Amino acid sequence: MVSDEDDNDCVITGSENTEYMDDTDQTQGYYDGIQQGEEIGSGSWPPCIRVIVTDSDCLDPGSLYIVTCDGAQIGREKDQGNTIIIPDLNVSKVHASISYQCDLQQYVITDHGSQNGTFLDETRISESKIESRAEKLSHGSTLQFSCTRFLLHIHNGTETCDECEPGQVQATMSKPAQKEAYTFLSKKEKIKQQRQNLKQIKKKYGLQNAPYVDNVAAIKNPTYQDKAEERRRTKGSDNPYIPDEAPASVNKPIAETNVGHKLLKKMGWSEGKSLGKDNEGIQQPGTMHEYLISTKCHDNLKSGYRKEAENV
């Protein structure tokens, strides 16, 4: 092998062929070797858990925690060796821990007898103040400690996705919620939708093939005792929210604290003056007798107009 004095090129000589390699080829080959080594190394190590905060009162939504095969500890206090710290009084000092089982090649979580519990996929894994058994963690599982909720993503090597990248998650959360478009249904569509909802309710409670049961016999059961009716009959019904104010009277002027009195005062009215723009209105409230007379006259005018229209 002979190398030229020129620093830009390297000549490799053999028995028959001669190959020239410049600095670009050397650099590219160097980085290809590093990348290949990283791929081999990442495939030989256990996957990591990418823990994303989806909802919390004390942690920023979208924050990322990475749990390796060395495990992690979750709790409230900083000086307890916790990897994920949740500053919430409802979270124990050492609440739970995540570990990796090499023989089963899976991550598990254990609750250390916390008072408020650990929820895995909406299910509490142990009773209060009782240490739980190791529960398996899967890709897409959710963990909840008090008001803090995490989403778990388990990827091999350096793989990620949009749901476990902090920037992508925070950008999605910051987008304003789109208003739902209202759809107007016809009468037939409403009836069809009601029937579909009824079928879903029956399916939910396992009543698809259940016959209709008339409950009139239970309602008219003579042994049934209506406690509310008995209480109304013996003690009565007292509504404390009914105002005790007396109804308005036409013989007594309204008080200055009345809303109508204040409204008229703002419009320029004063006591003793009549209503209307030119003070041509009434000064005293009308009686029921006057109201009946005016109503009768109005009806007579209407009937007279109707008769004239029929004669035309």
Give the pLDDT mean for 174-193. 80
Residue 193 resides in a domain: no
Residue 251 resides in a domain: no
> b/e per residue, 45-82, with b = 16+ CB within 10 A?
ebbbbbbbbbebeebebbbbbebeeeebbbbbeeeeeb
Considering the domain architecture, whether residues 32 and 52 belong to the same structural domain is answered as: no
**pLDDT digits 0-9 by tens, 196-224:** 999 888 887 777 777 777 777 777 788 88
Considering the domain architecture, whether residues 112 and 24 belong to the same structural domain is answered as: no
Cβ atoms of 154 and 66 within 8 Å: the answer is no
Considering the domain architecture, whether residues 35 and 66 belong to the same structural domain is answered as: no
Looking at residue 88, which CATH number applies to its domain?
A: 2.60.200.20
Considering the domain architecture, whether residues 40 and 52 belong to the same structural domain is answered as: no
Q: How confident is the model at residue 179 (pLDDT cuts 50, 70, 90)?
A: low
CB atoms within 10 A of CB 142: 14
Q: How confident is the model at residue 8 (pLDDT cuts 50, 70, 90)?
A: very low
**pLDDT digits 0-9 by tens, 59-107:** 988 888 999 888 999 999 988 889 999 998 989 999 999 999 988 889 9
Residue with tokens 């060395």: 70
Domain count, the chain: 2
Phi, psi at residue 179, to the nearest 5°? -70, 135
Considering the domain architecture, whether residues 28 and 61 belong to the same structural domain is answered as: no
Residue 20: partners with Cβ closer than 8 Å, 6 or more residues away: 9, 10, 11, 12
Q: How confident is the model at residue 289 (pLDDT cuts 50, 70, 90)?
A: low
Cβ atoms of 74 and 84 within 8 Å: the answer is yes
Phi, psi at residue 3, to the nearest 5°? -110, 135
Q: How confident is the model at residue 35 (pLDDT cuts 50, 70, 90)?
A: low
Amino acid at the residue 74: I
Considering the domain architecture, whether residues 40 and 112 belong to the same structural domain is answered as: no
Considering the domain architecture, whether residues 24 and 73 belong to the same structural domain is answered as: no
Q: Which of 148, 174, 200 is the last residue of a domain?
A: 174
Helix/strand/coil (H, E, C) string of 241-278? Answer: CCCCCCCCCCCCCCCCCCHHHHHHHHCCCCCCCCCCCC
With 0-12 CB in 10 A as exposed, 13-18 as middle and 19+ as buried, what is 106?
A: middle
- As a whole number, the mean pLDDT across the chain is 76
Q: For the whole model, what pTM was predicted?
A: 0.44
Report d(CA 65, CA 221) in Å as an integer. 63
Considering the domain architecture, whether residues 83 and 124 belong to the same structural domain is answered as: yes
Residue 238 resides in a domain: no
Considering the domain architecture, whether residues 123 and 57 belong to the same structural domain is answered as: yes
CA-angle at 219, arms to 214 and 224, nearest 5°: 145
CA-angle at 45, arms to 157 and 53, nearest 5°: 55
**pLDDT digits 0-9 by tens, 62-72:** 888 999 888 99
Residue 12: partners with Cβ closer than 8 Å, 6 or more residues away: 1, 18, 19, 20, 21
- pLDDT of res. 84: 92
Considering the domain architecture, whether residues 53 and 114 belong to the same structural domain is answered as: yes
Residue 275 resides in a domain: no
Residue 293 resides in a domain: no
Q: What is the dihedral of CA 34, 35, 40, 42, to 10 degrees?
A: 110
Considering the domain architecture, whether residues 145 and 86 belong to the same structural domain is answered as: yes
Give me the domain span that covers residue 149.
48-174
The residue with greater pLDDT, 46 or 291, is 46
